[in-house]
Structure 1
Amino acid sequence: MSGPGERLDQFMGRANAAYYEGRDPFADFITAPEISQIFGELLGAWTVVVWQLLGSPDPFVLVEAGPGRGTLMADALRLLRRVAPACHAAARIHLIETSPRLRARQQRALHGATAVPPCWHDTIASLPDGPMILLANEFLDALPIRQFVKRAEGWNERFVHDGRFHEYPACLPPAHPAVSRVADAGDVLEICQPAVAFMQAVVARLQHQRGAALLIDYGYDAPLCGDSLQALRDGRPADPLRDPGTADLTAHVDFRTLAQVASTVDVWGSVTQGYFLSALGLEARAEQLARAAPAQADEIRTAAARLAAPGHMGRLFRVLGLSVGLGGDMPGFAGRRDGNATGNERI
Structure 2
Amino acid sequence: MKEVLTNPVAGYYMNRDVFGQKGDFVTSPEISQMFGELIAVWLINEWAKCGKPKPFQIAELGPGRGTLMSDILRVFSKFKVTESELSISLVEVSPFLTKVQEENLCGKRDTGDKPLPNDSAFCRESISVYGPPVRWYNNISDLPNIFTLFLAHEFFDALPVHKLVKTEQGWREVLIDLSPADFSLRYVLSRDRTPASLYCRESEIRKELEVSPQSLVSIQTMAKRIHQFGGIGLIIDYGHEGDKTDTFRAFKNHQLHDPLIEPGSADLTADVDFAALKWAATHPGAEDEWDANLTFGTVDQKDFLTKMGIDVRLQQLLATSTSEETARHLKSAHRMLTDPNEMGSKFKFLALYPAVMENILQRYPPPGFE
Q: 2:13 aligns with which of 17, 20, 28?
A: 20
- Residue 62 of structure 1 corresponds to which residue in structure 2? 58
Q: Partners of 2:308 and 2:251 in 1: how far apart?
A: 31
Corresponding residue SS for 1:129: coil
Asked if 1:135 is matched to 2:151, the reply is yes
Residues 105, 160 of structure 1: alpha-carbon distance in 2 compared, 3 angstrom cutoff: same
Instruction: Verify the 8 A CA contact 1:125 1:201 in the aligned structure 2.
Output: yes
Point out the more displaced range, 249-258 or 296-305.
296-305
Deviation digits for residues 136-195 of structure 1, max 9, x if unmatched? 100000000000111223221111123210101325656637563213xxx321001110
What is the TM-score when the length of structure 1 is the normalising length? 0.87
Corresponding residue SS for 2:132: coil
What value does the CA root-mean-square deviation take over the aligned residues? 1.7
Instruction: Verify the 8 A CA contact 1:19 1:247 in the aligned structure 2.
Output: yes
How many residues align structurally?
318
Instruction: Verify the 8 A CA contact 1:147 1:157 in the aligned structure 2.
Output: yes
Instruction: Verify the 8 A CA contact 2:171 2:197 in the aligned structure 1.
Output: no
Asked if 1:78 is matched to 2:74, the reply is yes
* Matches for 1:82-161 after TM superposition, within 5 Å: 82=78, 84-86=79-81, 90-111=85-106, 112-161=128-177
- Residue 119 of structure 2 corresponds to which residue in structure 1? none
Instruction: Verify the 8 A CA contact 1:143 1:194 in the aligned structure 2.
Output: yes
Asked if 1:272 is matched to 2:300, the reply is yes
Residues 114, 147 of structure 1: alpha-carbon distance in 2 compared, 3 angstrom cutoff: same
- Residue 209 of structure 1 corresponds to which residue in structure 2? 229
Structure with higher helix content: 1
Instruction: Verify the 8 A CA contact 2:74 2:130 in the aligned structure 1.
Output: no
Q: 1:66 is matched by which residue type in structure 2?
A: G
Identity %: 35
Deviation digits for residues 23-52 of structure 1, max 9, x if unmatched? 321111110000111111111111110110
Corresponding residue SS for 2:14: helix
Aligned-pair distance for 1:265?
0.5
Instruction: Verify the 8 A CA contact 2:297 2:369 in the aligned structure 1.
Output: yes
Q: 1:284 aligns with which of 292, 297, 312?
A: 312
- Residue 197 of structure 1 corresponds to which residue in structure 2? 217
- Residue 220 of structure 1 corresponds to which residue in structure 2? 240
What is the TM-score when the length of structure 2 is the normalising length? 0.82
Aligned-pair distance for 1:90?
2.4
Corresponding residue SS for 2:336: helix
Segments of 5+ residues of structure 2 without an aligned counterpart are: 107-127, 179-184, 283-291
- Residue 34 of structure 2 corresponds to which residue in structure 1? 38
Instruction: Verify the 8 A CA contact 1:146 1:157 in the aligned structure 2.
Output: yes
Aligned-pair distance for 1:225?
4.0
Q: Partners of 1:173 and 1:73 in 2: how far apart?
A: 34
- Residue 332 of structure 2 corresponds to which residue in structure 1? 302
Q: Higher relative contact order at CA 8 Å, sep ≥6: structure 1 or structure 2?
A: 1
Residues 149, 307 of structure 1: alpha-carbon distance in 2 compared, 3 angstrom cutoff: same
Instruction: Verify the 8 A CA contact 2:210 2:245 in the aligned structure 1.
Output: yes
- Residue 9 of structure 1 corresponds to which residue in structure 2? none
